[in-house]
Amino acid sequence: MTKDAFKRLSPRETLDAVEGGHAILLDIRNIHEFDAERIPGALLAPMGELQPHALPSQDAKAIILQCRSGGRTAALAQHMLEAGIVDTIAHLEGGILAWKAEGLPTICPDPSRAVT
């Protein structure tokens, strides 16, 4: 991967990577968004609190960033590239909205608060 590009993954590619044990999924939205609806297995890491160099080693696993529509994760992935984190960073293109559009499962304790 070049220093000026990060991986952009589709929902299906993300699902395959996470289920295959090749990646972890970091949901960078705030806790209220995460509590309303989230992707199963995603870990909460709010963007405002995330320190790229403080991320623990994932034993060669990729880190896939996820937000609502992909805008925040694209910006954060670019920031992480600029910080020198290039080999393990990707983002879920289209975020949880694209995930849901593919018919993939979410955890939604209160359907009235679902992501739209």
Each domain of the chain, given as residue ranges in start order, spans 7-105
Higher pLDDT, 113 or 39: 39
Contact indicator for 39, 24 with CB cutoff of 8 Å: no
pLDDT digits (tens, 9 = 90+) for 52-106: 766 666 567 888 999 999 999 988 888 888 877 766 788 999 999 999 999 999 9
The mean pLDDT of 22-31, rounded to a whole number, is 94
Three-state SS string over the chain comes to CCCCCCEEECHHHHHHHHHCCCEEEEECCCHHHHHHCECCCCEECCHHHCCHHHCCCCCCCEEEEECCCCHHHHHHHHHHHHCCCCCCEEEECCHHHHHHHCCCCCECCCHHHCCC
pTM of the model: 0.87
What is the third-level CATH fold of 7-105?
A: Oxidized Rhodanese; domain 1 (3.40.250)
The mean pLDDT of 41-49, rounded to a whole number, is 91
Position 29 scores a pLDDT of: 96
